[in-house]
Amino acid sequence: MSRRQRAFDLAFATAGLALFAMPVATIGAAVRAEDGGHMTPEQLEQGYTWTYRHLFSAASIWARRPEDPAAVLPYLAMSTLYKRANPVWELLIRTRTTQAVWSPLVERSRPRHVAGRRALAARETAVLPGPAPAYAGV
């Protein structure tokens, strides 16, 4: 496993990406219900903030860059725009240029994502080598 893949796997596992889809107040209620209240909302928010800053820091984004040199620039543009440039998003939305900016980046990255999904699917369906199964009398 490459250094980049290890960094990505660690960041993905540590982040609990489902957390990024929910407001902090919702997460706090869920933690209190599931964990018996062992984490305060303030602790949760601090952890969320730390995780977000760490996962989407420039160093972390760079560590997870694709190995294909042609995919690096679109990846960096998407990662920066998506998680580190909220004022730019506000401008894009206000000027109605979101699709004009975002679509080319998505299309440029699509082949890499499709290839990655295919590789995962192939790995999941691969037959593991080993002795042939024994069938009783058949």
- pLDDT tens digits, 14-32: 444 444 444 555 555 555 5
Element (H, E) at 97: none
For 72-114, the pLDDT digits (tens) are 888 888 888 877 777 888 898 899 998 998 888 888 888 887 8
Chosen domain end from 64, 89, 111: 64
- Structure confidence at residue 86 (pLDDT): 79
Residue 24 and residue 78 in one domain: no
Chosen domain end from 64, 79, 100: 64
- Structure confidence at residue 20 (pLDDT): 46
- Structure confidence at residue 55 (pLDDT): 85
Q: By residue range, what is the domain housing residue 111?
A: 68-124
Asked if residue 59 belongs to a domain, the reply is yes
Biggest CA-to-CA distance, the chain: 74
- Structure confidence at residue 33 (pLDDT): 52
- Structure confidence at residue 37 (pLDDT): 59
Residue 51 and residue 16 in one domain: yes
Residue 50 and residue 83 in one domain: no
Asked if residue 136 belongs to a domain, the reply is no
Residue 91 and residue 54 in one domain: no
* Higher pLDDT pick, 16 / 2: 2
Reported pTM: 0.49
Task: Report the domain count for the chain.
Answer: 2
* Higher pLDDT pick, 106 / 9: 106
Taking the C-alpha atoms of residue 90 and residue 84, their distance in angstroms, rounded to an integer, is 12
Q: DSSP string spanning 79-127?
A: HHHHHH-HHHHHHHHHTT-HHHHHHHHHHHHHHHHHHHHHHHHHHHHPP
Asked if residue 102 belongs to a domain, the reply is yes
For 35-74, the pLDDT digits (tens) are 555 778 888 888 888 888 888 888 998 998 988 888 888 8
CA angle 86, 94, 51 (to 5 degrees): 15
CA angle 71, 73, 79 (to 5 degrees): 95
Following CA atoms 109, 112, 114, 116 in sequence, which dihedral angle do they give, to the nearest 10 degrees?
A: -140
Asked if residue 83 belongs to a domain, the reply is yes
Residue 60 and residue 109 in one domain: no
Asked if residue 137 belongs to a domain, the reply is no
Taking the C-alpha atoms of residue 56 and residue 8, their distance in angstroms, rounded to an integer, is 11
Q: Amino acid letter at 38?
A: H
